[in-house]
Each structure stands twice: as C-alpha cells, then as structure tokens.
Amino acid sequence: MSLHPETGGCLLPAGAYVVEVRTGRVARLMGQVGPYVQLRPLGGGREWDCPPDGVRRATDAERISAATAYVNARSRGEVP
C-alpha cells in the first residue's frame, strides 16, 4: 500500500475494506494511531494493529466473499 509522502501515514480512508497481506484477512480500516493502522474484522469484533504497508485495498470480490462467509457462519450459529 502507498504511504503519504510527507507524513508516512496510510493513504486509504477510514472505513475502507482492506486485506492484511500477511494473513489474507479482509477487514475494515478503522484509523491510524502512531505507526500502525487499526483493522476490525467484518461483522465486528476486536481491532488489531498492522503496519500501513501490510494492507492493500480489498477487491469487490474479496469483500463480497468475506461478507457472505460471515453471514453464513452467523446463520449457522457459529458467530454472534
């Protein structure tokens, strides 16, 4: 992912759907504090930190696939 040339911060806006490159998890970008961006899994849950260069924008197919997987798991009672 690209970093802001002057601040070194994340160029993606808060709320963007991203993929953590290391794990392949699709998440929402919640913001940036210090040298890390905060990510939250689809459907809610605990945020985790990731370096800004460790995420990329999720494709539409990745976002839809992750959202569908969450909804299916919820309908089976696997997640709250």
In Å, how far are 4, 38, 42, 60 from 67, measured between CA atoms? 29, 19, 7, 11
pTM above 0.85, yes or no: no
Chain-centroid distance, C-alpha 54 = 10
Token pair for 1: 């992912």
Collapsed DSSP state (helix, strand, coil) of residue 74: helix
Look up residue 31 and give its amino acid: G
The bridge status of strand 17-20 relative to strand 55-57 is antiparallel
In tens, the pLDDT along 9-48 reads 567 899 999 999 999 999 999 999 889 999 999 888 899 9
CATH fit for domain 17-75, picks 3.40.50, 2.40.360, 2.30.30, 3.90.1720: 2.30.30
In tens, the pLDDT along 46-59 reads 999 999 999 999 99
Determine how many CB atoms are found less than 10 A away from the CB of residue 59. 12
